């Protein structure tokens, strides 16, 4: 996987919509954004920045471009989770899980599902 760069909040919002669309024109992206809708030129500029950063490619149709993700959502999620784990939790999944439990971001159902995932992972390693 190539070296990824961190996205700004606006860039990430545009990428989320492009990942959902799979491919689309700037107007298609704008339609999916919440109100108040950003200006066409604003979204167009962000998409071109994403293209420069290597996240987006395009197909030309005359003067218009249809954009598509070059970086998958899964690849960026892996990158972002690693950055979060390293930057805020000293590379400790235990510290991160502890934080989410203390902040009540996980309910008991989530905790049970995590325990099941951990048990399944243990079984696979044996």
- What distance separates the 2 farthest-apart alpha carbons in the chain? 58
Per-position pLDDT tens, the chain of length 126:
568 889 999 999 999 999 999 999 999 999 999 999 999 999 999 999 999 999 999 999 999 999 999 999 999 999 999 988 999 999 988 888 888 888 877 777 887 888 888 888 888 887
Residue at token pair 């167009």: 44
Tokens at residue 115, please? 């325990």
Tokens at residue 84, please? 């979060």
Helices assigned H by DSSP within the chain: 9-21, 26-32, 40-52, 73-89, 93-102, 108-125
Instruction: Say which CATH architecture domain 9-69 belongs to.
Output: Orthogonal Bundle (1.10)
Total-model pTM: 0.79
Domain boundaries, the chain: 9-69, 73-125
Select from 49, 54, 55 the least CA-distant residue to 18: 55
What is the pairing mode between strands 64-69 and 56-61? antiparallel
Select from 119, 113, 85 the least CA-distant residue to 99: 85
86 within 8 A of 103, measured Cβ to Cβ = no
Torsion angle in degrees (nearest 10) through CA of 120, 121, 124, 126: -110
> How far is it, in rounded angstroms, from Cα 51 to Cα 103?
37
């Amino acid at each position: 996987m190539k070296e990824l760069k961190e996205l700004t909040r606006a860039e990430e919002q545009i990428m989320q919509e492009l990942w959902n669309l799979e491919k689309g024109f700037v107007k298609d992206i704008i339609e999916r954004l919440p109100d108040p809708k950003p200006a066409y030129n604003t979204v167009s500029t962000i998409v071109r920045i994403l293209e420069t950063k290597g996240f987006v490619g395009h197909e030309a149709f005359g003067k218009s471009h249809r954009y598509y993700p070059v970086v998958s959502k899964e690849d960026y999620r892996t990158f972002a989770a690693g950055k979060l784990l390293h930057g805020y939790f000293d590379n400790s999944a235990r510290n991160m899980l502890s934080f989410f439990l203390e902040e009540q971001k996980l309910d008991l159902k989530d905790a049970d599902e995590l325990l099941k995932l951990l048990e399944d992972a243990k079984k696979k390693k044996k």
